[in-house]
């Protein structure tokens, strides 16, 4: 019997993530943001004045990606780049007052998307789902990062300095797997 990927848990997970991102994009668009930009604002709201490399590590993206996002958010007047007084080669990124307000608006967007996504689930199911998703996240991390992940916190299990493993090619997966 052939493996039916459409019946797999990971397929459902990918589909849920896809529609979540689409729904979040609609709500973020209403406050003038694109998906991904909210993460930059929230990272700076938590710890303003990060360097570009610190932001890249925290967001688990490549430095050129952060540079592009910072440029776009800066053009909207949401943040500024300032050369470090200690090291003229280092630029630090700071939220403007408008950026801080927008970061606060992100919380309302996230709450709304979560409410929509979890409609029909009681509190027990929500807690169980969170725990299960956390376990999947840990399972997919490199073993050294998974060791340091804490079940009780709400932080992502990816450590900033941790690189994700290379993609496994389909031929490497056990072809005997069935539904």
**What pLDDT, in 10s, does the model give residues 100-144?**
999 999 999 999 999 999 999 999 999 999 999 999 999 998 765
CA-to-CA separations, 126 to 21, 73, 132, 177, in angstroms, rounded: 19, 33, 10, 30
Q: In the predicted model, is pLDDT for residue 30 greater than 90?
A: yes
Name the segment(s) of the chain with CATH classification 1.10.10.10. Answer: 1-117
**Looking at 48-57, 70-79, 129-138, 168-177, which range is the least confident one?**
168-177
Partners of residue 93 on adjacent β-strands:
50, 81
Q: How confident is the model at residue 24 (pLDDT cuts 50, 70, 90)?
A: very high
pTM above 0.85, yes or no: no
Determine the topology of domain 1-117 in CATH: Arc Repressor Mutant, subunit A (1.10.10)
Say if residues 175 and 73 touch (Cβ distance below 8 Å): no
Question: Can you tell me whether residue 94 is helix, strand or coil?
Answer: strand
Q: Give the three-state DSSP class for 39.
A: helix
With 60 as the cut, is the pLDDT of residue 174 above it?
no
- Give the gyration radius of the chain's Cα atoms: 19
| Residue 74: partners with Cβ closer than 8 Å, 6 or more residues away | 80, 81
């Amino acid at each position: 019997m052939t493996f039916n990927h459409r019946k797999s848990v990971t397929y459902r997970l990918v589909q849920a993530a896809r529609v979540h991102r689409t729904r979040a994009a609609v709500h973020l668009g209403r406050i003038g943001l694109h998906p991904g930009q909210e993460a930059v604002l929230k990272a700076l709201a938590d710890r303003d004045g990060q360097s570009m490399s610190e932001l890249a590590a925290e967001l688990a993206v490549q430095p050129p990606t952060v540079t592009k996002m910072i440029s776009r958010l800066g053009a909207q007047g949401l943040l500024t780049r300032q050369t470090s007084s200690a090291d003229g080669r280092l630029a630090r990124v700071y939220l403007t007052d408008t950026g801080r307000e927008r970061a606060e608006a992100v919380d309302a967007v996230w709450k709304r998307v979560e409410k929509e996504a979890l409609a029909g689930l009681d509190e027990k199911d929500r807690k169980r789902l969170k725990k299960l998703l956390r376990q999947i996240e840990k399972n997919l991390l490199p073993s050294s990062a998974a060791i340091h992940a804490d079940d009780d916190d709400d932080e992502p299990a990816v450590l900033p300095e941790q690189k994700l493993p290379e993609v496994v090619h389909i031929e490497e997966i056990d072809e005997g797997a069935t539904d």
